[in-house]
Amino acid sequence: MSDSHAQSVAFVRDTVIPESPPPALETGVVKWMRSNLFSGWFNTLLTLAAIWFVFMVLSVVVPWFANGVWEASDIRQCREIMAGSGGGCFAVIADRWQQLLFGFKYPSEEYWRPTLAFVLLFIAIAPLLFSKMFPRWMLVLTALYPFVAYYLIWGGTILAPLVALLGFVAGYFAYARVVRRSFAGAAAAGVVVAVVVWTLGGYVSAAAPGFMAFEPVASREMGGFMLNLILGVVCVSLSLPLGILLALGRQSNLPVVKGICVVFIEFIRGVPLITLLFVANVVLAYFLPPGTNFDLIVRVIIMITMFASAYIAEVIRGGLAALPKGQYEGAESLGLDYAQSMRLIILPQALKISIPGIVNVAVGLFKDTTLVSIISMFDLVGMIRGPILASTDWNGVYWELLGLAALLFFVVCYGISQYSQWLERQLQTDHR
């Protein structure tokens, strides 16, 4: 470069010019609203229609809550206090909340027992749902919870749940000692030992009915939202392992096993749940010996579990079919037998794929527990339709009670849905 040209350059910047702030319309809330709510004429129209709809709903719901009455002895006094203000008669909830939660026959002085069982449920299920946050030894609490919950809710002598627990423990040890020789023989040994322990323990429990006993509560005396929770938790817990077995059985190479699983799944999926509940309530008694007392809740749990397990089996079968054939071949190349390959390689991947479908079945199952009101079991909906609305004190109060039922079911189902999404993110292995 010549000297004359170098002298003509007055200044050369050696630093980056600072960025200018973006326009006010391209940042913050305004930017988000332009991108998501008013990005075009059609989206703008939909946004305005949604705002109008929300305004109309709130204009009715807000006065309904704000002018609501929470203290009244009956619907007549409630209407006198409201005096046409358009509020809700929430006094029915304040007056009958115990029946809505526990039913109208459960002893009021024993409400602390199912309440404690419900609190312990969160403690017992946490190590299972959030395994990375808790030590493995806490799974012992999860295994003990069913027996503790039975003792608290149903009452009676403590020997009954202890004998049941002892039978499972003895059966497991018998299975563990024989499983290396033969899987079928180990399963048979475990079942035989468990049945022997339960039979002998039954005589012991009958001989000492008052040993550390709570007041016994019959299944017919249970109701309210407690009954929905019992059926939902128990049936979901039992239907998942049964559904896995049915899915594996349907893919079995043994014609007899495959045929039994196919017939079971297709028959259960082809029958409405309400029909199975009627079978549990009426028809099943005709196939039992005369004088046999088969608890109604147990019968309903069996039918709902069968119904849910058939659907879960198909969901899991879809997950198994989605796995590439190389996964099965890779398990064989490692020298793993069928049980090891399923437990270590195939099922973990298939269950991860099947999480949305399994959660969908679980949510639907929990909502379907309200169908037990058809067979005269007073769950939450049964309590609303039966004893509460049938009484002259609160006959005519609908929206307040049904709104409470919808809120309780929404909280549980939304919690299940959010956990499933969290679990999917935790198990995600691809980075996209």
User: pLDDT tens-digit profile of 112-125?
Assistant: 999 999 999 988 88
pLDDT of residue 85: 73
Q: Give Cα 402 distance to the centre of its chain.
A: 21
- For residue 49, pLDDT over 90 is answered with yes
Tell me the average pLDDT across 299-315.
90
- Residue 168, judged by CB atoms within 10 A of its CB (0-12, 13-18, 19+), counts as middle
State yes or no: pLDDT of 8 exceeds 60.
Answer: no
pLDDT score, position 11 = 62
Q: What is the pLDDT of residue 73?
A: 81
Least Cα distance to 243 among 267, 270, 261 occurs for 261
What number is the average pLDDT over the span 367-375? 87
Region 311-315 average pLDDT: 91
Categorize the per-residue pLDDT at 242 as very low, low, confident or very high, splitting at 50, 70 and 90.
Answer: very high
* pLDDT above 90 coverage of the chain, percent: 13
* pLDDT for residue 164: 85
End-to-end Cα separation, the chain, in angstroms: 51
Mean pLDDT of the chain: 83
pLDDT band at 325 (very low <50, low <70, confident <90, very high): confident
Angle at 257 between CA 255 and CA 258, to 5 degrees: 65
Indicate the pLDDT class of residue 290, thresholds 50, 70 and 90: low
For 190-209, the pLDDT digits (tens) are 788 888 888 888 777 777 77
pLDDT band for position 25 (cuts 50, 70, 90)? low
Burial of residue 403, with CB atoms counted within 10 A of its CB: 0-12 exposed, 13-18 middle, 19 or more buried: middle
Segment 254-258 shows an average pLDDT of 86
- Angle 306-308-311 (CA atoms, 0-180°, nearest 5)? 110
User: Against a cut of 0.85, is the pTM above it?
Assistant: no
Closest CA to 311 of 349, 368, 384, 226: 368
pLDDT for residue 16 is more than 80: no
What is the average per-residue pLDDT within 302-329? 86
| Structure-token match 């269950």, residue found | 351
Query: What is the pLDDT, as a whole number, of residue 414?
Result: 92
- Provide the pLDDT for residue 335: 75
What residue segments make up the domains of the chain, in order of their start?
Answer: 3-66, 76-81+89-106+223-432
Question: What pLDDT score was predicted for residue 126?
Answer: 86
pLDDT at residue 50, rounded to an integer = 92
The class of domain 76-81+89-106+223-432 in CATH terms is mainly alpha
Mean per-residue pLDDT for 7-34? Answer: 70
